[in-house]
C-alpha cells in the first residue's frame, strides 16, 4: 500500500507539472497576498506580523490543496476504485500535500521576509521560522486534504469544503500563530508547547483520513 501511495504522490506531482499554469496561479496568489499585506501599515509588531503571515498561509493552503480530488470523477473514479486501495489513494494525496506545502512555505515566507522584513524586536532565526511555517502549514494541509476528500463525494464540493474546513482550521491557525510568536521570541520551534498540539492535530487527522476514507470512497 505504501508503494501505491508513493506512486499516487508522484503521479500528482507529474500532473501538476504538466499543468504548470495552475501552480503558477497558486504562487501568484500567495505573492499578491503578501504584497497586499506589505501595502498596509502597522504590521511591524511581532503579533501582527505573525498573524498576517498565517492569514496568507491559510488562504494559500486552501488554494493549493483544496482541489486535490477534482480529477477523481466519472470514469477516473471508477477506474481508481478498481485499481487502487482507497487508503493508498488518500495517503498519496497527503504525501503530495506535504511536498506542496513545503514548496509553498519557502515561497510565502521568502516573499514575506523580502517585502516586510523582520518584525521589530524579533530574535530572528530564518531556519526556525521556515520549520515552524512548514509544520503549521503541513498540519493545516492535512485537514484541507481530508475535508476536500469528504466534500468530493458530494455535488457541492468546494462550498462544503469551505464550510467544513474553516471551523477545523481556526484552532490550528491560532496554534500556528502562537508557535511563530514563540520563534520570534527566540525559542526553538520544536520546543514550543504548540509544536506538539499542531503535530497531534495534523498527524491525527492524517491517520483518521487513511482509516476512514475507504468507507466514503466506495459508498
Instruction: Report the residue count for the chain.
Output: 219
Q: What is the pLDDT along the chain (219 residues), one digit of tens a residue?
A: 777 778 778 877 887 777 777 777 777 777 777 777 777 655 556 777 787 888 888 888 777 777 777 777 767 777 777 778 888 888 888 988 888 888 888 888 888 878 777 776 666 677 888 888 888 888 888 888 888 888 777 665 566 776 777 788 888 888 888 888 888 887 776 777 788 888 888 888 888 888 888 888 776
Residue range 44-59, pLDDT digits in tens: 567 777 878 888 888 8
Grid coordinates standing for 90?
Answer: 488518500
DSSP label at 122? -
Domain containing 159: what range? Answer: 2-217
3-class secondary structure, 188: coil
Task: For residue 206, give the nearest of 151, 153, 146, 134 by alpha carbon.
Answer: 146
| Number of domains within the chain | 1
pLDDT at 123: 67
For 114, other C-beta atoms within 10 Å of its C-beta total 10
Nearest partner of 173 among 128, 127, 139, judged by Cα: 139
Distance CA 18, CA 14 (A): 6
Residue found under cell 492524517: 206
Separation CA 212–CA 219 (nearest Å):
12
The answer to whether residues 87 and 210 touch, using CB atoms and an 8 Å cutoff, is: yes
Write the pLDDT tens digit of every residue in 189-219. 677 778 888 888 888 888 888 888 888 877 6
Count of beta carbons in the 10 Å neighbourhood of residue 161: 24
Q: Look at the pTM and tell me if it is higher than 0.95.
A: no
Amino acid at each position: 500500500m505504501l508503494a501505491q501511495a508513493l506512486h499516487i504522490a508522484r503521479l500528482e506531482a507529474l500532473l501538476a507539472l504538466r499543468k504548470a499554469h495552475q501552480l503558477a496561479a497558486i504562487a501568484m496568489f500567495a505573492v499578491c497576498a503578501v504584497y497586499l499585506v506589505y501595502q498596509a501599515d502597522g504590521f511591524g509588531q511581532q503579533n501582527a506580523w505573525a498573524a498576517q503571515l498565517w492569514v496568507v498561509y491559510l488562504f494559500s493552503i486552501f488554494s493549493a490543496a483544496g482541489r486535490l480530488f477534482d480529477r477523481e470523477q466519472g470514469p477516473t473514479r471508477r477506474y481508481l476504485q478498481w485499481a487502487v486501495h482507497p487508503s493508498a489513494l488518500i495517503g498519496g494525496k497527503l504525501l503530495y500535500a506535504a511536498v506542496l506545502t513545503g514548496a509553498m512555505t519557502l515561497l510565502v515566507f521568502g516573499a514575506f521576509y523580502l517585502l516586510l522584513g523582520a518584525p521589530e524586536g524579533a530574535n530572528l532565526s530564518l531556519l526556525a521560522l521556515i520549520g515552524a511555517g512548514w509544520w503549521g502549514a503541513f498540519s493545516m494541509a492535512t485537514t484541507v486534504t481530508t475535508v476536500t476528500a469528504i466534500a468530493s463525494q458530494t455535488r457541492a464540493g468546494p462550498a462544503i469544503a469551505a464550510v467544513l474546513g474553516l471551523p477545523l482550521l481556526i484552532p490550528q491557525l491560532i496554534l500556528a500563530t502562537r508557535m511563530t510568536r514563540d520563534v520570534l521570541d527566540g525559542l526553538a520551534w520544536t520546543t514550543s508547547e504548540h509544536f506538539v498540539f499542531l503535530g497531534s492535530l495534523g498527524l491525527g487527522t492524517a491517520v483518521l483520513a487513511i482509516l476512514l476514507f475507504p468507507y466514503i470512497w466506495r459508498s
